[in-house]
């Protein structure tokens, strides 16, 4: 009901399975029973998820490493500072390159 009021869910779980085209029957009566079986398996998977709180063979989430987060933050800020410096205080050709890159990425 939250989606009706514009509230995003706090978690979204997605379970996917690859089905080969050769595994899908071509006869109409076989397709009907195959689809019914797919829906039965889907309902069973959903019931198990509601009972256990996770899909089978689902990995667990780990906490983010503080060191990796800080390293990524420093790298992004450092690269941003370098490119801002080069854009403002470098040769005219780098400014042309930066302008062309920005215009290319916007379209």
Phi-psi region of 53 (alpha: psi -120 to 50; beta: other; left: phi over 0): left
**Given the structure tokens 């085209």, which residue do they identify?**
21
Contact 31, 24 (CB under 8 A): yes
Q: Please state, as a whole number, how many other Cβ atoms lie within 10 Å of the Cβ of residue 106.
A: 6
User: What does each of the 107 residues of the chain score in pLDDT, given as a tens digit?
Assistant: 666 777 777 778 888 889 999 999 999 889 999 999 999 999 999 998 888 888 887 766 778 889 999 999 999 999 889 888 887 887 888 888 888 888 888 87
Contact 9, 3 (CB under 8 A): yes
- Here the tokens at position 80 are 């941003």
Contact 73, 64 (CB under 8 A): no
- The residue extents of the domains of the chain are 2-52, 66-106
């Amino acid at each position: 009901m939250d989606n009706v009021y514009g509230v995003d869910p706090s978690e979204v779980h997605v379970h996917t399975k690859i089905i080969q085209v050769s595994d899908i029957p071509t006869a109409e009566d076989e397709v009907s029973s195959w689809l019914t079986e797919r829906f039965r398996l889907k309902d069973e998977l959903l019931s198990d998820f509601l009972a256990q709180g996770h899909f089978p063979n689902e990995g667990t989430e780990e906490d983010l490493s503080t060191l990796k987060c800080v390293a990524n933050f420093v790298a992004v800020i450092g690269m941003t500072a370098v490119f801002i410096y080069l854009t403002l205080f470098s040769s005219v050709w780098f400014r042309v390159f930066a302008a062309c890159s920005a215009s290319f990425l916007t379209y």
